[in-house]
Amino acid sequence: MTTQTMTKSATSYISPTRERVMGVLFLIVAAAIWVFFIRNTTPGLETTFGMTPGGSQVQTPDWVFETYTALNILLFLSIALAVYQLVRGFKRYTNLVLGLISGFFIFAFLAWGASGLSLNLAGLLRVMVIRSVPLTLGAFSGILCERSGVFNIAIEGMMLTAAFCAALFGSLVNIWFGLLTAMLSGLLLGGVLAILAIKYKVNQIIAGTVINIFATGLTSFLSAKFLQKYQYLNDPGRFPTCDVPGLSQIPFIGPIFFSHNLFVYAMYILLIVLTVALFYTRWGLRLRSVGEHPKAADTLGIQVNRTRYMAVLLGGTMAGFAGAYFILGSVGRFDEVLTAGRGFIALAAMIFGNWYPFGAFGAGLLFGFADSLAGKLTILRVPIHNKFLEMAPYIVTMIVLAGIIGRGQPPAAGGQPYEKE
């Protein structure tokens, strides 16, 4: 048996215990659809999903269906998948089926909540993409740093400082200069983190916490002292929405994914670039090697600390770009503690995505969807407080960390300073 075959067999093996646990979990989801939704739905009611986001010129007919029938179809499919999982198992496709089952539950919730009403599904998904931008970009920052072996919990402080710089310098000069200074501020704080963690070997959690506290205090003071007093210093403007020719005209999908501003398209591009750079280039192999086994990398001639410096500086610049989004791509002005903990949510997205760019992007979309849906609960008159819905992504993250969906694989040398012998 070749090494490649052995590796493939090892990675595709799923323990019988985990297969049974997942099968039971599928049954629980099916039971929840019946208990919470089907039992509380009156036959004959219809659900209307709007398929065109507000303001879009690409019109798509609304989707109207009978709620009770749709819920029963979802229940039947969930039970069928659960039974198959218990009897034979989906093996290496188990997580994919889990995602499908979760999608059934979310769709059932939306159909039940909008029964007899109308919900703009396309608008909900469009807001999901928008809300995912700072989380995904922040997660990319964490991936760059932690793949090299440096924990970066200072993403929150980097994003907050960058947002302040984008507002101030964007107002004084122009929007592009605001974006540049935001990225430079992230680069600067990334340099501070790198010096503390790599040169002076300060505990990386403490170093990141210090940067967060410093950024919060400094930006709050300067905002109260200048930006709130002189409003012309807090009016940088925002990047306009631009449609991607051809793609934005695709019904339903086009307005959701291809009618945004600079930051959304940059997120798509960085997703591809970062994936290719980390996993398909020599540069990425070296960066990942110093995060997994720095001593072995050193013996092969890779300069460990220099590589880590480079990764942290790039991560800081990425966090600065994410922070600029809040001002130049979203609200258009700075307020104290504007980021509201999204840097820490980005870290959760990074862990949820198992330190992979595409995984982080998916987690960012999940968190963005929960954030978007929380604002729709009052419209749907669902008897659930929106704060409970906002808890959902974090509960899922804890499930991931507990190993039910699959164990995360952080870099082996993460958080460990390296000193050349």
pLDDT digits (tens, 9 = 90+) for 181-195: 999 999 999 999 999
Show the tokens assigned to 326.
Answer: 């809040």
Residue 95 has pLDDT above 80, yes or no: no
Residue 406 φ/ψ, nearest 5 degrees: 155, 140
Residue 262 carries which side chain, given as an amino acid letter?
L
Residue 183 in contact with residue 317, Cβ under 8 Å?
yes
Backbone phi, psi, residue 396, to 5°: -60, -40
**pLDDT value at position 194?**
97
pLDDT for residue 121 is more than 90: yes
Please report the pLDDT score of residue 5 as a whole number: 41
Kindly give the pairing relationship between strand 46-50 and strand 63-66: antiparallel
Check residue 315 and give its pLDDT.
97
* Among candidate residues 318, 244, 324, 247, the one with its CA nearest the CA of residue 278: 318
Mean pLDDT of 200-210: 95
pLDDT score of 3 more than 60 = no
Is the pLDDT score of 12 beyond 50? no
Residue among 165, 167, 145 nearest 360 (CA): 145
Measured CA to CA, the distance from residue 322 to residue 87 in angstroms comes to 46
Cβ atoms within 10 Å, residue 315:
30
Confidence of residue 92 (pLDDT cuts 50, 70, 90): confident
Q: What percent of the chain has pLDDT over 70?
A: 90
Q: How far apart are CA 421 and CA 142, in angstroms?
A: 28
Token pair listed for 219: 């930006």
Task: Name the CA radius of gyration of the chain, rounded.
Answer: 23
Residue 143's contacts (CB-CB under 8 Å, 6 or more residues apart) are 274, 278, 315, 350, 355, 356, 357, 360
pLDDT in tens, 298-355: 999 999 999 999 999 999 999 999 999 999 999 999 999 999 889 999 998 998 888 9
CA–CA separation, 146 and 413 (whole Å): 9
Give the tens place of pLDDT for each residue, 40-89. Answer: 899 999 999 999 988 788 889 999 999 999 999 999 999 999 999 999 88
pTM, two decimals, is 0.91
164-193: average pLDDT: 97
> For residues 16 and 351, which has the higher predicted lDDT (pLDDT)?
351
What are 25-42's pLDDT values in tens digits? 899 999 999 999 999 899
Residue 403's pLDDT band, with cuts at 50, 70 and 90, is low
**Count of CB atoms situated within 10 Å of the CB of 40:** 11
Cα separation, 78 vs 106, in Å, equals 12
pLDDT confidence band for 281 (50 / 70 / 90): very high
Residue 394: predicted pLDDT? 67
Residues 6 or more apart whose Cβ sits within 8 Å of residue 31: none
386: Cβ contacts below 8 Å, ≥ 6 apart:
374, 375, 377, 378
Contact 269, 336 (CB under 8 A): no
What value, to the nearest 5°, has the Cα angle with vertex 228 and ends 223 and 233?
85
- Nearest one of 353, 327, 351, 349 to 338, comparing CA atoms: 327
Residue 317: DSSP 8-state: H
Q: Are 203 and 149 in contact (CB under 8 A)?
A: no
Lookup result for tokens 């978007």: 372
In this prediction, residue 420 carries a pLDDT of 77
The pLDDT mean for the chain works out to 89
